[in-house]
Amino acid sequence: MSRLATAISNLKQRLDEGGFLWIQQEDGYLGKTKVKFNGPATEKEIEEFPFKLPADYEEFLRLHHGGRLFFTEDGGNNGMELYTIEQILEHRSYYGDDFPDNWFPVATGYDGSFLIVTDQHIGGGYLSWFDTGNNFEHDLAIGMSFEEWLEKLIITQGSNFWDWDIRKRTGM
């Protein structure tokens, strides 16, 4: 079993019968969040993507065609929504030619910001985080693959770990 499939399988094992999981995040936040994965994408849906997908992201789509992770039903924690290919293409069309070539939003969370997949390697990976309040020159190159990103998202219980600066010390 791949690292991606193992991370997803182990997350599912921790869910209760309703798909809920208690998590603790930054600032002492403790809450019951829901995790829901969609069924697999079809071959036809995968072929609709405009470029050859990275192997680990394609594997994710073959396992789960999107889903919602670490969200609360009351809207208190918006969690992370992983898009279907149809949603990816729809959100990409909102920005049209404003998006750099081959930038595709594959997930959203944390105040409407996007996780971007591209066919170009950026900082050791192919993912970027785009804050919709900024212009495209201020995106954050995450420098990892989707498999690495999803595993870390699961380990950090839905936290936006890519924004953490471990060199800063607080409260001193």
Q: For 72-124, what is each residue's pLDDT tens digit?
A: 877 655 789 999 999 999 988 887 767 788 889 999 987 778 899 988 877 77
Confidence tier at 27 by pLDDT (50, 70, 90): confident
Percent of the chain scoring above 70 in pLDDT: 88
What is the predicted pLDDT for the residue at 20? 95
pTM of the complete model: 0.88
Confidence tier at 167 by pLDDT (50, 70, 90): low
Instruction: Return all residues near 169 (Cβ < 8 A) that are at least 6 apart.
Output: none
The pLDDT tens digits of the residues spanning 115-145 come to: 999 888 777 788 988 877 666 665 678 889 9
What is the predicted pLDDT for the residue at 148? 95
Q: CA 164, 170, 172 angle in degrees (round to 5)?
A: 160
Residues, the chain: 172
Higher-pLDDT residue of 126, 37: 37
Q: Which residue has the tokens 């036809």?
A: 44
Q: What is the mean pLDDT of the chain?
A: 86
What is the predicted pLDDT for the residue at 65? 97
Cα distance between residue 78 and residue 95, in whole Å = 22
User: Is the separation of the CB atoms in 93 and 87 below 8 Å?
Assistant: no
What structural domains and CATH numbers belong to the chain?
Answer: 3-161 (3.40.1580.10)
User: Is the separation of the CB atoms in 85 and 49 below 8 Å?
Assistant: yes
What is the predicted pLDDT for the residue at 22? 94
